């Protein structure tokens, strides 16, 4: 596959991943499908959701490079060595954005959701019961111990909700990271060897 066609394929492939990251991050603002946490994000919202790893990292910072990367695969002003050089810069931005979204998602999954949980003697408190900084559950990783998930009493099923949507952002940003990295290499070959496009030849 020539460098121009490869760039076009990568650019088009990044679009659905961006949309998926953004949608998943937006949904995370309503943990357990509840709207109350949005009105009190400082206490009731999982911090990594507010960091916007899916919206900014896997979304905007990948979408902008995707537009240019795809343009380098079409006939026109970007389908040349200069366009390929610029695609390397844009791809690096995409790598940074994807990496940001990926890391934020990993941290969000490992530390667990912000929720209302039982603290003893039938009292409840808002916090992160699975965070390793707390004494409770510090000897176990909650991801592998489903019997601990019921400790979060509100929002309902917030642990499953948290895992599912952070996993979606994690997967989409991980794939975006791989594709943008490939485009850095592809762009380098495009600068050195050209885009393999001949005038009058169409895809």
Give dist(CA 134, CA 194) in Å, integer.
Answer: 56
Domain regions of the chain by residue span:
3-112+159-193
Average pLDDT over residues 76-95: 81
pLDDT in tens, 115-167: 998 876 777 888 888 875 444 444 567 888 888 888 888 999 999 999 999 99
Our measurement of the distance from residue 123's CA atom to the centroid of its chain's CA atoms, rounded to an integer in Å, reads 36
Average pLDDT over residues 103-121: 88
pLDDT in tens, 34-62: 988 888 888 889 999 999 999 999 999 99
What mean pLDDT is reported for the chain? 85
Exposed / middle / buried, residue 198 (Cβ in 10 Å: 0-12, 13-18, 19+): exposed
Which of 17-21, 64-68, 188-192 shows the lowest per-residue confidence on average (mean pLDDT)? Answer: 188-192
Give dist(CA 150, CA 137) in Å, integer.
Answer: 13
């Amino acid at each position: 596959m020539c460098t121009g066609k490869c760039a076009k394929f990568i650019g088009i492939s990044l679009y659905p991943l961006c949309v998926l990251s953004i949608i998943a991050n937006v949904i995370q603002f309503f943990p357990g499908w509840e709207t109350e946490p949005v009105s009190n994000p400082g206490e009731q919202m999982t911090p990594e959701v507010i960091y916007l790893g899916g919206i900014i990292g896997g979304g905007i910072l990948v979408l902008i490079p995707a537009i240019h990367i795809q343009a380098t695969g079409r006939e026109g002003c970007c389908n040349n060595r200069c366009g390929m050089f610029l695609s390397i810069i844009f791809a690096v931005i995409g790598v940074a954005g994807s990496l940001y979204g990926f890391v934020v998602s990993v941290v969000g999954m490992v530390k667990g959701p912000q929720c209302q949980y039982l603290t003893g003697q039938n009292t409840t408190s808002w916090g992160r019961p699975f965070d390793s900084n707390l004494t409770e559950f510090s000897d176990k990783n909650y991801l592998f111990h489903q019997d601990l998930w019921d400790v979060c009493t509100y929002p309902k099923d917030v642990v499953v909700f948290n895992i599912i949507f952070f996993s979606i952002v994690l997967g989409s940003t991980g794939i975006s990271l791989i594709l943008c990295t490939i485009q850095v290499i592809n762009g380098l070959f495009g600068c050195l060897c050209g885009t393999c496009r001949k005038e009058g030849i169409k895809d």
